[in-house]
Every structure is written in structure tokens, then in C-alpha cells.
Chain A
């Protein structure tokens, strides 16, 4: 297998790595770097459990090859320092089994980084690529509303 050299910044840390051509980004994160917060649900781009932020946009890391991350900035759940989003998820009861949670938090972050005043529809749209089998989504939506409102300067709703 051919190896490719990549320079990638993951959660603020620079890595210079040699990766197999067919290595997926999710395997680089989980198996090589032991950043196991990123979950694999379907492995085919349908569930969003493997969501990471790549240069500001959310991607399914099961559909990205590791070498495609060359010269990119990646944020995984381990690199999220945003206490407001995390606390809102906890306070609203937006986490049940937790398998979708890393992806949901990253999708929420990517939305709120661009839009601090999203309406209900925009929030639902933003997480529509992330499947959750437990919560029925409503408490995740309220957690994101709450985080947005706190970020805008209010206390909560």
C-alpha cells in the first residue's frame, strides 16, 4: 500500500503523518490517534455519528480519506472547548445513550459559528444529517436554542 505524507492540524495540534492511501479519516482519528469520541455508526455517510468539522464545515469522517485532510484543520469532539453548548446539552437533557452526541454537538457548533440566531427550522435542518434513535430530537433542538440565546447574551430562552 502506498503511503502519503500529510500535514494536518487536529484540535489545534499540528501532525505530520504518513497514512495509507485508503485509510479513512475516521480510522486515522480513532485507531491511530485514539480520539475515540468520534463514533462510527453506519460507515456509509447516512448517520452522522462520525461528524467532524473540517475547515469550518461538518463532514462525515467515514466518507473522507485521511490524505484528503492534508493541509486542513480538523475539530473533533475532544477539541470542543465550547462549554456553553456542552452545558446546554446536559441541562436540557439532550443526551441519552450518547452515541449521536459528539456529532450533534459538532453540528450545533458549526451552525452557531455561522448563525447565532437560528430559527427552529434552521436548527432542525442543521442536525438533519445526524440520526438519533433515543431523544426524538426535541431536547437537542431546545439545547441548541438555549446555547444560541446564551451566546447572544441572554441567560436562557
Chain B
């Protein structure tokens, strides 16, 4: 017989190392001679989209297009420490370091623009599409390229430390600062004779703060969902005297494209 059922689960998840652990990310930003901005970021790209997101954050902070950002990534001789690509921390932590580095660089660029534009303050200056304008008088402008040509080297660093709190001796407290709240609902069909479970529908809702790149967030939801399905319905490590008894994909089963339904995904952007 086939029976149907529905399930819903809610979680919250702490981003970063938490529990009072030092959680520091650094990044550099530098104005290049051609007016582009180079950012040096140690965040490792493991497929989550770190390279894309860091470029987006730099571009938005500086009022540039992503084509005007040159990314130096994962090069230990050039990139400062950004911590590990773990604990779901790179977009938030290193992303903030990139933002701070670019804000600091922006201030230095505007200081130089003040001299070239003949204004008395950087208040009211605006960067857009590689040009620095006087907001109320846009035809008075200077390009980032001219600023670069007029200066030896403009560069800045950004350091971001995530606030984390140590738990008390009973393991109680609020060890993280940013939390993600999520809920997931599924409808399944169970074959009561074989025990086989088929997922018919799924819906996932995540409160993600600000989705820097919604497509990438959705990709993480899809991937996380499939792993969850695996853990719940098929994956199991068999151990016998310390050795794995099912160390192959033939015996240790993970979901295939036929096991995963389309998932309705909702992102709640509530900063």
C-alpha cells in the first residue's frame, strides 16, 4: 500500500566559528593604473561562489561594474588571511572585510578627487561607472584612471572580526552573532511494503539576511536539501572493527537526480 504524509521542520543555524573563537577576515583593495580596482582575498572558492560574491561586494561598494574589479584570490603570497571556507562564514565575514577595504580605499580616492576637482570637501562626491562626480554638478568629474595616474599607489586594508560569545560552563548562551532561520516542508509517499520513500514536493524558506546573489543562495538550498535527503533516507556509514563496510558508491548510496524533487524556494531578506 502507498501512504502519503507531510512533514515540516524548522532550524536556526549560527554563521561563523562562534563560542568566543577568534573569527577574523582580512582583505586588501588597491587602485590600479588603468582605473580598475584590485581586491586580494584569501577566501577559498569551493563552489559556493566566493569569487563571484566578493567581486559583487567590491563593485557595489565602489560604484563600479564587476568588470572593473580584478580579483586576486587564493594566492598565499598575495592574499591576506581570510580564515577557512567553513562554517558558512565567507560571504558574511570576508565579504564584510572586502566591503571595509573598499570603503577605506574609497575615502582615499575621494581625498585625491577633492584636490583635482577643486572642491573643499569630499562630502557630496559620488562614484559611478568609474567617474567621481560632484553630486550637484555632475559635469564636474574626474575618472578613477586620472586619480590613479596622479598618485603613486592608493591601497587600503579591511579587517572584519565577527563578534562571538563564549558559552557558559553548562554550554548555554548565544555563541554566534548572525543566525540563519530556515524551515522546510515535504510531502512524501511511502510504500508500506518495501519502506521506500518518495518525495513528492518540497518547499524551503530561509531567512538569509541580504541575499548578495540569490542564484547562489538557491544553489546552496538545493544542495543542502539533497544532502538532507541522503542523510534521512539512504546514507549510512557501516563500520566493522574500525573499517568501513560500505566504502563505495555501490553500497554507500547518495541521492541521484531521480531522488530529488523540484524545490520551491523562498528567500526572506530581512536584515
Instruction: Report A's interface with B, CB cutoff 8 A.
Output: 41-42, 44, 46-47, 92-93, 95-98, 120, 123-125, 127-141
Instruction: Pick the 4 closest A-B CB pairs, nearest first.
Output: A136-B222, A96-B47, A97-B47, A136-B226
A96 touches B258 (CB 8 A): no
A134 touches B223 (CB 8 A): yes
The yes or no answer to B197 lying at the interface (CB within 8 A) is: no
The yes or no answer to B262 lying at the interface (CB within 8 A) is: yes
The yes or no answer to B263 lying at the interface (CB within 8 A) is: yes
- Residues of A within 8 Å of B248, CB to CB, are 42, 44, 46
Residues of B36-66 whose CB lies within 8 A of A: 46-49
The yes or no answer to B254 lying at the interface (CB within 8 A) is: yes
The yes or no answer to B139 lying at the interface (CB within 8 A) is: no
- Residues of A within 8 Å of B218, CB to CB, are 93, 139
B260 touches A134 (CB 8 A): no
The yes or no answer to B224 lying at the interface (CB within 8 A) is: yes
Residue of A41, A47, A132, A137 ringed by the most chain B CB atoms within 10 A:
A137
Residues of B216-271 whose CB lies within 8 A of A: 216, 218-219, 221-227, 248-250, 254-258, 260, 262-263
The yes or no answer to B172 lying at the interface (CB within 8 A) is: no
- Residues of B within 8 Å of A133, CB to CB, are 223, 227, 254
- Residues of B within 8 Å of A95, CB to CB, are 47
B249 touches A131 (CB 8 A): yes
A sample of 13 more A-B contacts (CB under 8 A), given A95-B47, A128-B256, A136-B225, is A46-B249, A93-B219, A97-B46, A125-B257, A125-B258, A127-B257, A131-B249, A133-B254, A136-B221, A136-B224, A138-B262, A139-B218, A140-B257
